[in-house]
Amino acid sequence: MAVTAVAGAEARPIPRLRRLEDERWLALALLLPTAILLGLFIAYPFFEGVLLSLTSQRVGVDGEFVGLKNFVKIWNDSIFRTTVWNTFWYTGVTTVFKLALGLWLAMLLNRHFKGKALVRAFILLPFIIPTVLSTFAWKWMFDPTFSVINWTLYQLGFITQRINWLGDPDLAMTSIIVVNVWRGVPFFAISLLAGLQTISPELNEAAAIDGARPWNRFWYVTWPLLLPVTMVVMLFSVIQTFADFQLVYVMTGGGPANATHLFATYAYQLGIGTGLLSEGAAISLAMFPFLFVIVVVQLLYIRRVETR
């Protein structure tokens, strides 16, 4: 009796493990770690942020529920409106330049030449160096008094007076755009290069035999095949640029007179600098609908391109 009981127990796996034979349970078990991570570090802070933005909490002072009051307040805030405009301009201009330069670089890197591997590695440098460090170097280059850029232009005879890079509102915006493009191009270049390498050279060769010129080969063969990758790269870049913080914080602190404030830097100034945590949260969250629309449009587009 006892023997059969033991044998029976061996033949049948314990019920908990058997459950994993069902694919649905297995999927759940495999997804669980990621779900917990995402929940803990993305969903939870997000909902906390939403709750925070609906209260009147300040640093060290528990607030009460105030509904949408913070959102109404920032909507009427002229600095916030400047910030919205700045962020869109900053994201739009940098993305166009990063895409154009990145694509150009990727096409060049896709050719065969001596020292290709080395050049490819060096291209990544701006992306690898910690942003704060490289931005500090740029800050020095744009320094109102000691700018090496001004010095060079002056020595070459192009200017007679110092250019006020970070002191003039338009030039300050241009300066941070330049730095962002410099930092972002390698990401575009390397990702697009990866995309280019998946395109079979035969397609291009066939087009060439049919008499297609280089531009036509690019426009009708390479570009359509590269588009899905391009869209994904742009999606990542737009999200990152839209929420950029370090670069502006180091270079201008949002100045002069708020001319370079982005969502993140203004939220920081209000939330941390002024202690108005709830308003800071409201500004951060105001980013969400804009980003949401951008992401949905891009994802829909990617889907269309992929199913075509």
Place of tokens 């330069």: 101
Cβ atoms of 270 and 73 within 8 Å: the answer is no
Surface-to-core class of residue 104, CB atoms within 10 Å of its CB (0-12 exposed, 13-18 middle, 19+ buried): middle
Regarding 79 and contact with another protein (CB under 8 A), the answer is: yes
Express the helix, strand and coil content of the chain in percent, nearest 5 each. Answer: 75, 0, 25
Contacts (Cβ under 8 Å, ≥6 apart) of 198: 225, 229
Q: Which of 59, 121, 125, 194 binds another protein (CB under 8 A)?
A: 59
Regarding 224 and contact with another protein (CB under 8 A), the answer is: no
Please, what is the minimum distance in Å from the beta carbon of residue 80 to another protein?
Answer: 11
> Going residue by residue from 90 to 129, which x/- string records binding to another protein, judged by CB under 8 A?
----------------------------------------
Please choose, from the candidates 175, 194, 176, 179, the residue with its C-alpha nearest in 3D space to the C-alpha of residue 103: 194
Please, what is the minimum distance in Å from the beta carbon of residue 277 to another protein?
Answer: 8
The rounded distance, in Å, linking the Cα atoms of 307 and 298 is 14
> Going residue by residue from 172 to 201, which x/- string records binding to another protein, judged by CB under 8 A?
x-----------------------------
**Ramachandran angles phi, psi of 259, nearest 5°:** -70, -20
Stretch near another protein under the rule CB under 8 A, chosen from 178-186, 211-219, 230-238, 267-275: 267-275
Please, what is the minimum distance in Å from the beta carbon of residue 257 to another protein?
Answer: 4
Please, what is the minimum distance in Å from the beta carbon of residue 137 to another protein?
Answer: 16
Other beta carbons within 10 Å of 41 = 10
The rounded distance, in Å, linking the Cα atoms of 91 and 294 is 11
Q: Which of 60, 115, 130, 201 binds another protein (CB under 8 A)?
A: 60
Cβ atoms of 265 and 242 within 8 Å: the answer is no
Please, what is the minimum distance in Å from the beta carbon of residue 129 to another protein?
Answer: 21
Q: Which CB atom, from 226 or from 279, has the smaller least distance to another protein?
A: 279
Window 244-263: residues binding another protein (CB under 8 A):
252-259
Please, what is the minimum distance in Å from the beta carbon of residue 128 to another protein?
Answer: 25
> Going residue by residue from 135 to 174, which x/- string records binding to another protein, judged by CB under 8 A?
--------xxxx---------------x-xxxxxx--x--
Cβ atoms of 126 and 189 within 8 Å: the answer is no
Contacts with another protein, residue ranges (CB under 8 A)? 59-61, 73, 76-79, 143-146, 162, 164-169, 172, 252-259, 269-277
